Amino acid sequence: MTERFERHRQPWTPTEISKLHQLAAKGMSLAAISKALTRSEESIKIRAKLDKLLIAKKR
């Protein structure tokens, strides 16, 4: 069962966007970023695409 995040459809804050950029630059996986930001993987995929970020694949 997937985790549920209570922040459903909440807007991204500048702090969260900055942290997403930092974690993606470190090469963290989508699941790890999801846990760190307490956001769904789908939400992170969408935001990363908007910001033209590359998220590391699972190894």
Categorize the per-residue pLDDT at 5 as very low, low, confident or very high, splitting at 50, 70 and 90: low
Cα 55-3-22 angle, rounded to 5 deg: 30
Q: Is residue 59's pLDDT more than 60?
A: no
Residue 6 forms part of a structural domain: no
Range 3-20 average pLDDT: 84
Range(s) of the domain holding residue 24: 14-50
Residue 7 forms part of a structural domain: no
Predicted pLDDT of residue 56: 86
Of 9-13, 17-21, 50-54, give the lowest mean pLDDT range.
Answer: 9-13
Residue 56 forms part of a structural domain: no
Please give the tally of structural domains in the chain.
Answer: 1
- pTM equals 0.83
| Torsional sign, CA 35, 59, 20, 48 | negative
Residue 22 forms part of a structural domain: yes
Predicted pLDDT of residue 17: 96
